[in-house]
Structure 1
Amino acid sequence: MLRSGVLKKVFFSALALTGLLLLYIYFFVHPAYRKLLIHHTEDEAVRYVSFLVHAYHLDKQPIRIGHLSPGVIRDIGVFEDDKRLIKLRIFDETGRIVFSTVPKEIGQLNEHPYFHQQVASGQVYSKTVTKDNFTAEMEMVKTDLIETYVPIMGNGSFRGAVETYYDVTASRKAIGGLALQSLVSLGAVSVALLVLLYFALNQADRAIMARDKAEGELRQANEKLEARVAERAGELLRVNRKLSDEIAERTEAQMSLSEALTEMQRAKEKIDGILSSVTDGLLVLDDRQQVMMMNHTAESICGICLADVSGQALQLLDLPPALKEALGKVFEDPEQEKVDFELPRSSGQSRTLQARTSVLRDQDGKGLGTVVLMHDVTTEREVERMKSDFLAMAAHELSTPLTAIMGYSELLASENANQMTDDQKKSFVSFIYDKAESLSCIVDDLLDLSRIESGQEISIAKIDFDLCTNIRRLIDAHRKNYVSHRFELEVECSSCRLFADPIRIEQVVENLLSNATKYSPEGGEVRVICRGDDEYCRFSVCDQGVGMSPDQQSRIFEKFYRGNSSNTSQQGVGLGMSIARHIVESHAGHIEVTSELGKGTCITVALPKSEAKVDSKREGIDDSEEEQAPV
């Protein structure tokens, strides 16, 4: 028996190849011989039919019962002498048998699909039938045979077919015997080669074993030598082993620590990413109110760095006084979850923030610390303030004319009214009308604002008119109402005709003139300049009033904003400029403000002249605010 693993693999590989070769001959070569027998039988049948067709011109005459020529019958008789031929039949194009070596079959009809689909299309049909199985026409046979149908074609059409039954029992047995002889011969040769290979491998195995034995003896001698050396160096080895164990333990501990640090770093980076994405200030304290973590926003609000204060008590930190006071209120009163506080900005203004706290708990619900969230509520508080200011201004602006209207109406309705002159009554009625008109303007502004806020368009009725004529009429009216101011009109264009809503444009001019007179000193000059070109009409309203700071200029078009709200003598609810800009932009125009504090303000409006320009500009405003009329 072979003891070398390599030699065993070589022997068994040769054995496996021998078996595969025998299987290949049995499963592939032997069936190939059988297929060759079938092809040979088909070719013989085709050659015989071709002989009959060309010899007796079967492709040019009808094939019918009783119409076959004697020569065909004679040659078929010669063909019947072949002992392998079991049966021969001739069919017409309908599948009816017109001749058969078994006369009783003449006149029968072949209705099988293979005949009418394959043979009738000009293809040879063959079927191998083994003993005790059925032919294509369901006839049981007692021998192995090949059933072949050969079509007779004439002028490209099917004329009939010839069927032959060939006995291939002897041929199949011969092929089987040949295959068996091949297998036996090859098997014998393979066994002989395997035996020779085994003996050769056995000799090689013995040589290998002898070499291994020699190597073993040499190894034993070497081991004895090493044992003597090991005995003398035993103590050194024990010390070295102990040191190695300690190094291994330390290495394992360092690896575990490194993995833990890596995992902690990943968790820290994930938490830092979450904290940095939060726009609000986030401060986390432990149960002793010591700083655990905070994001960049919280560092900016508190004015400290997490790296400098981590682990320190909140009470010891140098926080802004307002923030420290707000946090103190929250911690002293647990029910007070939200506290507002203000912090100064670098610009000198202040911003309002809201501090909220929540308890940080573990999975068991035990308190681990506190989370402080600082949210910037400056905008919300500004909106609330503007709402309050608007309500106060609206109440004042509405109550003042109403009080005057009620007072003068009461005088006109009193018993002393009969003692008044007609001029006095007319003056009272005119005053009441002016105040009512003032109320109407305020209500109209509120209605326009309501439409704008709800997304509705304010009503625009466009006609063709001269802008300078309307401005001149409004200036004349203001000269009568504001006799303490000087009004100047400069016209720098030959034609300022517009296709626009004159009422809405006058509303804009009226608002600009009213603001100019409100914020100008007594005797101040209000200058109106009209100019234009081929596409635009422009007018500017300039005053010598108090002017505006850059911050006021940036907010002049905000709703409810008043340039100097501390001056309550100036009437208005802060809607005029917002509505004016909406009207100008509804006409595809543009409004621009230039002002210098203490020197005055100049507001310029540019409006397109033609209707087409208005429509195209309006579409541009709806789609994008990138294209604006130049000023």
Structure 2
Amino acid sequence: MWRDLALNIKLSIVLVAVQASVLLVGFLWLGHWVENSRLEELRHRLDTQSDVIESLIQSQGDRLLYQRNGEFAAELDHDQNIYFALRSSARSELQFESEGPTPALRNKLNGTMVRGLDAEEKPTLLVVGYEHWLAQKISFERGPPGATQTATLSVALNAQPALDGITEVRRLSAFAALGILVLTAASSFIVVSISTRNLRGFARQLRDLKPPAFTRPMLFAPHSAEEKLLFDSYGQMERSVQGLLESQRLFIANASHELKTPIAAVIAALEVILANPRSAEDYADTCRDVLAEMQVLKRLSLGLLDLALLDHSPVFATTSTALAYSMRQAAARWQKTAHERGIRLSLTLLENHDVQVPGTSEQWEVLLSNLLDNAIKYSESGTEVSLGAAVLDDQTVRIRVIDEGIGMSLTETEQLGNVFFRADTARVQGQSFGLGFAHCQRIAEQLGAALTVTSQQGMGTCVTLSIRRVIP
């Protein structure tokens, strides 16, 4: 259920929960502090009153009496919120008690104090009826030497008004905390809702997007760094998707064009065969034309299949190959083709023939073969194609394929790697489908290599592959 809630509701709940926790801790601390303060104030007052009452007790014969003479003593004696009683330690009989509380309450206080007060001079909160009284007892002596009398004075203060005040403070604090919590919840929800308004609108538009408009730009003014990052990321993704769609459109158009030409030639040849009876030699010539076009179709289909396999093949991060071996194999494979075209094919290996590079031998065979094929295909007789390797540092190896062929313009060089792209001169010659360099680029990406091309029309082309060597 939590995962299905809106973001503004989730954030509001979290903020309210944090605020509620803070208010709860503050409420408990405030209540505890007020209660301790009031009780400490009552204890201090109880000690003071006890000392005053003790000072007003005098010895008369064999009895101890409370001196009620005087305004202050009479006020203490008749205060309804103070009760004190004097007992003789020898006979444990009640010698006198204050007259402030009602007789019934005095009886209850007297009995409760006799049972509930154990430790001397330790204030104790007693429950008497429906009220709380803070009480303590004091033992003292009065009388001349040799006739000293020992007595126990019990004093109690009505603590109920103070406790009621504490309860009222807690009630007011609870209402205040509840009000603050409600205001915090409402303000948090409003602020979060306003802050996430763009995100909700963005999500609704994403949900409603359907082809062909699912790449239309989202126009939102970001209100935060996170929103700017999200919108910029979506814009970058939208541009990438548009580029992929455009590449797909061009791929379909070029593939249709490349397939249409040999198919049309085959159909025309078959129509010629079926139109009128011909000699065996004419049939053989027509069949050779059909075979040539079918071989073109085969090369095209195999090239597309290889490209699809490269796009979905795994990256061999833990596999390595001896670079020298792969370069020898590639040079040996294309040496005959180069010789037939009157082109010199040179090979320059590293001094250390044990240098390992990432990838499988099959990947390097396709990569180097395509580069050499292109270099030989677009070079004239009497020129040279070189395949060489050099160590740039302890970690990087540079492999170069250099030719003295027809070259390319800067615009054509920038478009290399696009499927079915061919330079104008290559298109005129009709020797390529524009798939070879696309194969090389896919393999280089899988191996983590950097593939760069520098070329100038009529001056040849240099293809450079930089890759980190594998250290055993």
Larger Rg: 1
Q: TM-score of the superposition, structure 2-length normalised?
A: 0.47
Q: TM-score of the superposition, structure 1-length normalised?
A: 0.37
The higher relative CO (CA closer than 8 Å, separation ≥ 6) is in: 2
